[in-house]
Amino acid sequence: MNDNTLSGRTALVTGGSRGIGRAICVRLAQAGIKVAINYRSNQAAAEETAQRVAEAGSSAYTVRANVASRQEVDAMVEEVGQHLGPIDLLVNNAGIFEFLPHDELTPEVWQTTLDTNLTAAYNTIWAVKDGMIERGFGRIVNMSSIGGVRGRPNSIAYSVTKAGIIMLTKSLAEAVAPHNLRVNCVAPGLTDTEMPHSVATPEVIEELIEATPLKRIGQPEDMAKVVYFLLSEDADFITGQTIIASGGRVLLP
């Protein structure tokens, strides 16, 4: 799997301790990329991801930070730079999901979701982009969701933030393209992680799989492969785009 295109460069993956984030870390490690694994609270899971990165043949560094805090993000970026080198690759994967009807969506839930899912991406990008511009190289992938392109009546705050991620990707991509920075987005569909199983019954999940043309649930590794492609030079003429990885359940025109 190691094509050496990005070998030796440093990536920061936010929310990298579990699920899709962990799969992304391992896929990058297989390409010889040094991986900084950001986590907020589950250090044990982050250390397990680091072990898998090491087994894949690359260097790992775990770093705790609440990415909703610009101060903590700035400190994290400096710490990663000291241990692994300057960050050339950024994957904004950290996020939270609340399944709530509209009459239970409180201002507190709205603000926390906005801070964690959207402002956090701004924080990390703004902490690394100037260095990327100075070095003349940068690759950023933001994780959205099919909820960002299709209305979700019981996850309004989540869908709004994920739609914001798509527009952040488009707008930033145009702004930084002259500096050899590419910015793209992945919008996963139903994926076999803790998130869907925490809010949906097995019966509902089976109904969603049946509604998926490819007739299966996505795996974290499916999303990791798309992320790696967008970071790699195989995607060197792609920027500002959102790739929906949903098994065909959600399609863009």
Catalytic residue among 39, 61, 158, 228: 158
Query: Is 158 designated active site?
Result: yes
d(CA 13, CA 24): 8
Write out the H or E segment, with its range, that includes residue 64.
strand 60-64
The letter for the amino acid at 169 is T
d(CA 132, CA 138): 5
d(CA 221, CA 132): 27
Write out the H or E segment, with its range, that includes residue 91.
strand 87-92
Alpha helices in 32-155 (DSSP H): 43-55, 70-84, 107-114, 120-135
Is-contact 142 181, C-beta < 8 A?
no
Extract the tokens encoding 1.
């799997």
Active-site amino acid positions: 158
